[in-house]
Amino acid sequence: MTTLNLTYEDDNIFAKILAGDIPSHKVYEDDKTLAFMDVMPQAKGHVLVIPKQKAVELSQLEPEYASAVLMTAKKVMQAQRQVFEREGIIQMQLNGAEAGQTVYHYHVHLIPTNIHQLGKHASTQADMAELAEQAKQLREAIAAAE
């Protein structure tokens, strides 16, 4: 049995991305959310959406940030459909180590694939040039839809 730790750690990797201390392939940003490419994608075009709130998991997410994350997820999902020509986009979110959560800043995964073809979680590093190109295409698709 594990002990659930809901203390937000300021040095988690997504906090560092939000602070600009480490780079990310940015897809979209507004005052409450940030979306960027997952560096170990479970399918081509895997994006993460995070709130600009210090929440470890869903139980701590404030309503205004929950709403903002979903609105950003909608924009990203529509862009993914267009750019990657996939109808199916998996929306996934893990709460707690037992579920497989590895980064303790709340985030939604948006993965363009079929559930039966979903790759292994947080396993294989992507080509950074490919991620940069995918992020650019998604940014352009989102901008064109605004």
Tokens 């698709």 correspond to 141
- Our CB check for ligand AMP shows the closer of 40 and 77 to be 40
Rg (CA), the chain: 15
Distances (CA, A) of 64 to 31, 33, 79, 118, 125: 11, 11, 23, 30, 33
Q: Total residues contacting ligand AMP (rule CB under 6 A)?
A: 12
- Asked if 85 contacts 75 with a C-beta cutoff of 8 angstroms, the reply is no
The minimum distance between CB 10 and ligand AMP, in angstroms, equals: 16
**Strands (E) located in 30-140:** 33-37, 47-51, 89-92, 108-112
Q: Which of residues 64-103 bind ligand AMP (CB under 6 A)?
A: 94, 100-103
Nearer to ligand AMP by Cβ, of 48 and 79: the residue is 48
Which residue's CB comes closest to ligand AMP?
40
Asked if 124 touches ligand AMP (CB under 6 A), the answer is: no
Catalytic residue among 105, 107, 116, 121: 107
Cβ neighbour number for residue 126 with a 10 Å cutoff: 16
Q: Is 39 in the site for ligand AMP (CB under 6 A)?
A: yes
Q: Are 113 and 88 in contact (CB under 8 A)?
A: yes
Q: How far is the CB of 89 from ligand AMP (least distance, A)?
A: 15
Concerning whether 116 is annotated as a catalytic residue, the answer is: no
Q: Is 24 in the site for ligand AMP (CB under 6 A)?
A: yes
Binding site for ligand AMP (CB under 6 A): 13, 24, 38-40, 48, 94, 100-103, 122
